[in-house]
Amino acid sequence: MEWVAAAPAEDVVVVVEVGSVEGSDDLEAIDEDPGRPLPREGKGEVAFGTALEFLDRSVAQSFSGRIESRRDGYLESTVRVHPGCWTGRVGAGLDVFGDGPLDLTFGLFLGATGTNASPGDRVGMEASPIAGGQAAIGFDGRHLFTRYTWSAGWGGSDLDAALTENQFLLGYRFARIVELYGEILVLDPGGSPGGSGIGVGGRIVL
């Protein structure tokens, strides 16, 4: 019997591919997929803004700050100053839909509202605490975003017995950190000047 030596087997090469986890870097994912929406407004970030509001009976200036966590909670503060009237509040809430282009949020707030008073020759300030809640629904696209917010608060005096606010906002996002928007407002801060009007504003998202 004749034995034939077998040729040595070729080396076996094993190739292992390691894939990246989707969503590990939002900005890189956006660059790779231009159709993907930008990160949502304030999602896991901090936003500061101001707006000039032209109402029926006054011109108001508003200032706002908002922090949104990556677990869908938010903390925000808002101050609105009218001639002879002001309101301020701090609130917190949750986004029911979580991460995604559609928002549905519910929250509660505490704050104060007041007027400048002039009893006789003395100038003072009257203020009362206020508490309430708000609900908002909105959509955040790649550049365009919109939101409707309804707020209602109650206090213990005639001034803040029924504070209500309706806000419709439409804006455009530039360079991922700058937002400009227009708004329609219907305000009823108790017995103080309010009414309906329009506003323009901007935000910086850090």
Q: In angstroms, what CA-CA distances link 97 with 23, 100, 103, 192?
A: 18, 7, 6, 36
What is the structure's pLDDT at 161? 55
Structural domains in the chain, CATH included, are: 40-205 (2.40.160.20)
84/98 Cα distance (integer angstroms): 40
What is the structure's pLDDT at 27? 46
- What would the two tokens of residue 85 be? 């009237």
**Buried/exposed 21-44: b ≥16 CB within 10 Å, e otherwise:** eeeeebeeebeeeeeebbbbbbbe
- What would the two tokens of residue 108 be? 């509660």
Per-residue pLDDT of the chain (206 residues; tens, 9 = 90+): 445 454 454 454 444 444 444 444 444 444 444 444 444 444 568 999 999 999 887 888 999 999 988 777 899 999 988 887 788 899 999 999 877 788 899 999 998 877 766 555 454 567 778 899 999 999 988 899 999 999 988 876 555 556 788 999 999 999 889 999 999 998 775 555 557 899 999 999 98
